[in-house]
Amino acid sequence: MLQNKRFQLLLAFCLAFLLSVLAVFDTVDTPSERYLEQSLQRALIAFGTARALNGVISVAQGTELSLEPAGVGVNFAPGEILDPINDLIERFSWVMLAASSSLGVQKLMLSIGSWWPVTALLLGCLLAAVWGLWRGTWQQPWFRRIVGRLLLLSLVLRFAVPLMSIGGEIIYQQFLSPQYEEASAKLEETRVEVDLLNSSLKAESEEKQGLFSRLGSFATEVGDWRENLDEYQAAAESATRSALDLIVIFVFQTAVLPLLFGWWLLTWVKGWFRRAGDS
């Protein structure tokens, strides 16, 4: 029995020493802050790309072309084919804004957790817990209830966000990074492609030709503009896939993962109280 008590005391002392080192020397705060900043930059870049793509799509929708076979005017706006993707990109930009806000809140919570009074509370609770185990006071319900709850609160405040951000970055690097890089590159390529198509169509619409020249080149013009329509359609499909991929990545990283972590943390807290005899 005495050896078992000594082993428990030694284990508690080693754990308290490890947690104290992690809390005092910012061992987990520095990488956590870096990972959150990187995630925030990715979200802001995606948001900026979405807004830029939204802009060139709006220009495409406002570009009107005209044909005049045999003097009969035919007007149409090829950019209207991008109307569905424009709605998706608009919603995608809101998702990126929400993701950026979530990451900003996590950075704020990280700053609160690394505030020196929180660290001091954690150190005091660890010292009190070790002292209570050594003196046998931990067996007293009132001592275990007060010190245990304060220790749990300080642990959550100090280490919850760092653990979540480090875990999220590991998951991102292992599973999400290639998908993010590919989707972001394709979304930017789509923006450039639509911008080039806008410039090309604008130049064609401003070109002045005589009536007989238009009659002779009408079939050619229709073929060229139909090709442009196909290019708009291909760009819309590419942007749709890329936007959906990015939505999945950021919703998982900034909404699903925190909810899963919160559920696990709540389960762990309930188990802590149950073991302490408070439930």
Q: Nearest 5°: phi and psi at 75?
A: -115, 140
Query: What are the tokens at 214?
Result: 């238009």
How far apart are the C-alpha atoms of 15 and 253, rounded to whole Å?
Answer: 30
Q: What is the pLDDT of residues 62-107, one digit of tens each?
A: 666 555 544 444 555 556 677 778 788 888 888 888 898 889 999 9
Q: Is the pLDDT of residue 108 over 90?
A: yes
Contact at 8 Å (CB) between 82 and 236?
yes
Measured on CA atoms in the order 21, 25, 26, 28, is the torsion positive or negative? negative
Identify the DSSP state of 18.
H
What pLDDT score was predicted for residue 110?
92
Would you state the structure tokens that stand for residue 113, as one six-digit string? 């957790």
* Residue pLDDT, tens place only, 1-39: 556 667 777 888 888 889 899 899 888 899 999 999 999
| Helix, strand counts (H, E) of the chain | 8, 2
Q: Rounded to the nearest 10 degrees, how much is the dihedral formed by the CA atoms of 222, 226, 228, 232?
A: 150
Beta bridge partners, 66, equal 75
CA distance 5 to 77: 82
